[in-house]
């Protein structure tokens, strides 16, 4: 296709006329499609229904060590669950605390504890004038919402296909004592689906923070969420690398089964160094008597071991792969060569990141909505919901049925073409 | 029996000799009995095993409003669960937020949120020089642990059989702006099993706090945990009373199913006014996408309605009642008339409170332990673990099988007699 940039004004106007007719047709379809959140679809949820059978009224509710999972106790998780989640996270079971149903909640609590009590004996953040977090952008809106809620200043750092721009990260972390953390989704990042390169992980592990209580918030949300079995990304395990380079306490690593079994009814976990664990357990013992061990046991019995979990993830991939491929195919078909946007092609995770021409994202999302297709709010992938380029849009292909998804993506790319063509005309107007 | 106080020194010494021989016999039995925590026993846990069958792989996992309980969403709980827990708490469903497995966690988070963000627009407590909580004593150690953890100053207020000494509560709350809260277990209190009288509840609802952000932390942990069906305590519902007297935002009310189904795998809830709910939801939306809806649905399907839950509680009472009665009978038999201790006779809840002669509690608990009977740590029922009278001991009859419980109580009362006799001799020595 001919690049829109090379089209004359007349060509562009004619193009818009054609596209708008097509758009009206979509509007007449009364669509109600949603590509806004990374929600598993019904077929994916059905994959885990066996979870409901492994603990019946006849079931043995005891752990291997004799613990009755039904009663109080066991602050940081039953052993067999630590074993399973350890294999999932690539960490030793004794580096892990098993939590409730939400890793977001664990991240929130981790920031909250740092606010009120500080990290490993350091000044509570609420007593400091200013606390800053580095935020690779585009990134995950719920991460940014936590730091915003606690009044933590968020500093955007550009993402690249190999991870955050490490020169900027290194400089800020090593020179500014107010920088206390960085949000990372290291594997199949939200929203691009990028995975950090070996060099990026090595440089993270070798950070020399000015602040003793600087921590990397390593949200390994998509650690085993591959779309392809053989062509999958593999990261250097960050805790081990930190330990090897003499930086053992640098990382809090988070994960959950939310997109493995049932979102909201799974188990979450934190992996970190013994020093950090001790610090955290002293608070956790005040906060709760323990998390849901019956659900931990249920997950262990359902999967058996990590191989069971990996086989289960293949089934998710069978459902998700055609959806990702459909979105990519339609975007390719409708937008390639037009020079009005670019998008990522992840090997895993839950999102595709779309970069529109600067100044177009909000209009695109609004116009898609007017035809019944809901996208993630433009700006959501930036701290404070403000994308300075008004360019990034997160596409979440998982939830809609395949045919709906195709329709939604056709409409989306149509809208991208309309808004971009108008923007080019507009820009030429202004340049005159 | 003759009061120890009226015995001569010689009589007391002879008594101690006899009792010590008996004590040696217990020591030779190699007992390992635990009366320290309010843990349900195995038979009680078995009552809820049907919970494991109501959601099978064939189950309908949808709410009545069409919500798929397996997926993300529904921040404050599914409607049918609010309905059930509303009936349990005697509150309207729309005054309720359903949380995860631990009401302790909800209380912790409530204090933590007040520390970092304040209550309904008031100054965050972490920005204040001093924050105080009133603590009816004896009380619940895990409450006190939360306020201690956050550096909140705890002020003991004497408990009476009708509730906290309200004259003191009223005076402190109305005159001291630093007093921000009070811990209450209003029904079958921990550890005495006292229930607040109507007058007490009315006076609570009519408090005129100096601090706008003063809240009553009303931990209704044992709301339906009766030992007797007809002879049960009934309280004026506090939220309704607060609303009637024009004090709608005064109370956070907590409850859970921890001692109804499985401790650690139940659901918890908070009931409060619309203003407070709005304040809390704005934080909750940052902390999590939602709590475990599958477990909410499981509880709803298991109980059906509040009548199902009440029938279930009768079964708990059948198991617990003989245990409470056995403890009381043995204490009566061994200690009545000796004038060396007093204890409560609750109609519900999980504890019996024992008041030893001042200065004896620690020694009693230590000596019981040396014969293999573990009691709650002496002092635990007071803020900072410091009972200034060294007198109160919490007895938890629920966990040990009935015969073990009888043995443990025999041993306990024997130890009370030994330590008290020695204390009387000691006191006479010092008085000379």
Same domain? For A223 and A89 the reply is yes
Residue B317 forms part of a structural domain:
yes
CB contact under 8 A, A104 and B49: no
Q: How far apart are CA A372 and CA A414, in angstroms?
A: 13
Considering Cα of B422, then B425, then B426, then B427, what sign does the dihedral take?
Answer: positive
Same domain? For A266 and A369 the reply is no
Please, are residues A32 and A430 in contact by the beta-carbon 8 Å criterion?
no
Please, are residues B219 and B142 in contact by the beta-carbon 8 Å criterion?
no
Q: How far apart are CA A143 and CA B409, in angstroms?
A: 53
Residues 6+ apart with CB under 8 A from B202: B236, B241
Residue A53 forms part of a structural domain:
no
Say how many domains are in chain A.
Answer: 2
pLDDT digits (tens, 9 = 90+) for B100-155: 999 999 999 999 999 999 999 999 999 999 999 999 999 999 999 999 999 999 99
Distances in Å between the Cα of A23 and the Cα atoms of A27, A315, A375, A412, B418 are 6, 36, 16, 10, 91
Alpha helices in B288-401 (DSSP H): 293-303, 306-335, 361-370
CB contact under 8 A, A48 and B56: no
CB atoms near residue A278 (< 10 Å): 10
Please, are residues B116 and A115 in contact by the beta-carbon 8 Å criterion?
yes
> Closest Cα to residue A188, out of A221, A145, A142, A237?
A221
Same domain? For A175 and A260 the reply is yes
Interior CA angle at A19 toward A16 and A24, to 5°? 120
Same domain? For A315 and A420 the reply is yes
Please, are residues A1 and A337 in contact by the beta-carbon 8 Å criterion?
yes
Tell me which chain B residues have a C-beta less than 8 angstroms from the C-beta of A145: 286
Cα end-to-end distance, chain A, whole Å: 27
Question: At which of A275, A304, A333 does a domain end?
Answer: A304
pLDDT at A200: 98
Cα-to-chain-centroid distance, residue B328? 19
Residue B50 forms part of a structural domain:
no
Please, are residues B47 and A70 in contact by the beta-carbon 8 Å criterion?
no
Q: Predicted confidence band at B165 (pLDDT cuts at 50, 70, 90)?
A: very high
pLDDT, mean of residues B212-228: 98
Beta bridge partners of B179: B132
CATH of the domain at A423: 3.90.1150.10
pLDDT digits (tens, 9 = 90+) for A64-82: 999 999 999 999 999 999 9
pLDDT, mean of residues B348-371: 98
Please, are residues A83 and A89 in contact by the beta-carbon 8 Å criterion?
no
> Closest Cα to residue B389, out of B359, B426, B427, B421?
B359
Q: How far apart are CA B138 and CA B156, in angstroms?
A: 8
Q: How far apart are CA A10 and CA A7, in angstroms?
A: 8
pLDDT at B195: 98
CB atoms near residue A275 (< 10 Å): 12
pLDDT at A29: 94
> Closest Cα to residue B235, out of B276, B187, B272?
B187
Beta bridge partners of A98: A269
pLDDT at B1: 77
Tell me which chain B residues have a C-beta less than 8 angstroms from the C-beta of A108: 286-288
Q: How far apart are CA B225 and CA B227, in angstroms?
A: 7
Same domain? For B293 and B315 the reply is no
Q: Does the beta carbon of B350 lie under 8 angstroms from any beta carbon of chain A?
A: no
Q: Does the beta carbon of A70 lie under 8 angstroms from any beta carbon of chain B?
A: yes
Question: At which of A304, A326, A351 does a domain end?
Answer: A304
Q: How far apart are CA A369 and CA A374, in angstroms?
A: 5
Residue-number span of the structural domain to which B346 is assigned: 4-44+310-431
- Nearest CA-CA distance, residue A93 and chain B, Å: 21
Tell me which chain B residues have a C-beta less than 8 angstroms from the C-beta of A59: 52
pLDDT, mean of residues B383-394: 98
pLDDT at A1: 77
Residue A406 forms part of a structural domain:
yes
Report the relative pairing of strands A132-137 and A352-356 from DSSP bridges: unpaired
State residue A308 phi and psi, 5-degree precision.
-60, -40
CB atoms near residue A26 (< 10 Å): 20
Task: Write out residues in chain A with pLDDT < 50, as ranges.
Answer: none
Cα-to-chain-centroid distance, residue A171? 25
CB atoms near residue A345 (< 10 Å): 14
* Helices A402-431 and A361-370: angle between axes, nearest 10 degrees: 130
ipTM at complex level: 0.96
Please, are residues A285 and A275 in contact by the beta-carbon 8 Å criterion?
no
pLDDT at B378 over 90: yes
Q: What is the mean pLDDT of chain A?
A: 97
Same domain? For A193 and A249 the reply is yes
CB contact under 8 A, A264 and B294: yes
Same domain? For B81 and B193 the reply is yes
CATH of the domain at B100: 3.40.640.10
Tell me which chain A residues have a C-beta less than 8 angstroms from the C-beta of B126: 115-116, 124, 126-127
Residue of chain A minimizing CA distance to B128: A127
pLDDT at B432: 81
Q: Helix and strand tally (H, E) in chain A? A: 13, 13
Tell me which chain B residues have a C-beta less than 8 angstroms from the C-beta of A149: 117, 283, 286
Residue A244 forms part of a structural domain:
yes
Rg (alpha carbons) of chain B, rounded to whole number: 23
Residue A54 forms part of a structural domain:
no
pLDDT at A329: 98
Please, are residues B350 and B259 in contact by the beta-carbon 8 Å criterion?
yes
Q: Does the beta carbon of A431 lie under 8 angstroms from any beta carbon of chain B?
A: no
Where on the phi/psi map is residue B76: left (φ > 0), alpha (ψ -120 to 50), or beta? alpha
CB atoms near residue B77 (< 10 Å): 21
Same domain? For A242 and A129 the reply is yes
pLDDT at A432: 80
Same domain? For B225 and B264 the reply is yes
CB atoms near residue B333 (< 10 Å): 12
Same domain? For B278 and B144 the reply is yes
Residue B239 forms part of a structural domain:
yes
pLDDT at B55: 97
Same domain? For B296 and B326 the reply is no
Which A residues 4-23 touch B at CB under 8 Å? none
Same domain? For A35 and A77 the reply is no
Burial annotation A153-171 (CB, 10 A radius, 16+ → b, else e): ebbbbebeeebbebeebbe
Residue B28 forms part of a structural domain:
yes
pLDDT at B21: 98
State residue B253 phi and psi, 5-degree precision.
-110, 130
Cα-to-chain-centroid distance, residue A330? 23
Residue to test with chain B: of A151, A289, A295, most B Cβ within 10 A: A289
Interior CA angle at B110 toward B106 and B116, to 5°? 140
> Closest Cα to residue B416, out of B338, B344, B326?
B338
Question: At which of B260, B277, B304 does a domain end?
Answer: B304
> Closest Cα to residue B412, out of B358, B359, B356?
B356
pLDDT digits (tens, 9 = 90+) for B287-330: 999 999 999 999 999 999 999 999 999 999 999 999 999 999 99
CB contact under 8 A, B70 and A294: no
Peptide bond into A191 cis (omega under 30): yes
């Amino acid at each position: 296709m001919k690049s829109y940039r090379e089209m004359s004004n007349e060509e562009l106007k004619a193009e818009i006329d054609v596209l708008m007719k097509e758009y009206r047709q979509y509007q007449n379809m009364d669509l109600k499609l949603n590509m806004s959140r990374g929600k598993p679809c019904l077929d994916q949820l059905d994959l885990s229904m066996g979870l409901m059978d492994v603990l019946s009224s006849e079931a043995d509710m005891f752990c291997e060590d004799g613990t009755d999972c039904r009663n109080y106790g066991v602050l940081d998780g039953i052993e067999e669950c630590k074993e399973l989640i350890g294999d999932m996270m690539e960490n030793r079971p004794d580096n892990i605390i098993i939590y409730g149903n939400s890793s977001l909640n664990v991240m929130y609590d981790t920031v909250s504890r740092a606010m009120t009590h500080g990290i490993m004996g350091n000044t509570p953040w609420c007593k400091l004038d200013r606390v800053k977090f580095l935020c690779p952008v585009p990134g995950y809106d719920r991460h940014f919402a936590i730091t915003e809620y606690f009044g933590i200043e968020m500093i955007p750092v550009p993402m690249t296909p190999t991870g955050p721009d490490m020169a900027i990260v290194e400089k800020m972390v090593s020179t500014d004592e107010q920088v206390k953390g960085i949000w990372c989704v290291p594997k199949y990042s939200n929203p691009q689906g990028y995975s950090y390169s070996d060099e990026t992980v090595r440089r993270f592990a070798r950070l020399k923070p000015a602040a003793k209580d600087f921590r990397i918030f390593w949200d390994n949300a998509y650690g085993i969420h591959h779309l392809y079995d053989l062509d999958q990304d593999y990261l250097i395990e960050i805790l081990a690398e930190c330990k090897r380079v003499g930086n053992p306490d640098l990382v809090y690593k988070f994960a959950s089964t939310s997109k493995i079994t049932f979102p909201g009814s799974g188990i979450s976990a934190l992996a970190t160094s013994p020093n950090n664990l001790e610090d955290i357990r002293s608070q956790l013992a005040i906060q709760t008597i323990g998390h849901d061990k019956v659900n931990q046991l249920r997950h262990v019995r359902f999967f058996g071991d990590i191989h069971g979990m990996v086989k289960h993830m293949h089934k998710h991939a069978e459902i998700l792969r055609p959806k990702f491929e459909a979105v990519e195919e339609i975007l390719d078909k409708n937008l390639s060569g037009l020079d009005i946007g670019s998008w990522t092609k992840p090997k895993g995770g839950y999102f595709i990141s779309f970069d529109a021409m600067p100044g177009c994202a909000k209009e695109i999302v609004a116009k898609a909505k007017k035809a019944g297709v809901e996208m993630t709010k433009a700006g959501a992938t930036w701290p404070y919901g403000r994308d300075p380029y008004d360019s990034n849009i997160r596409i979440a292909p998982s939830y809609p049925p395949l045919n709906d998804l195709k329709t939604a993506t056709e409409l989306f790319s149509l809208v991208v073409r309309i808004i971009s063509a108008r923007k080019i005309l507009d820009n030429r107007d202004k340049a005159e």
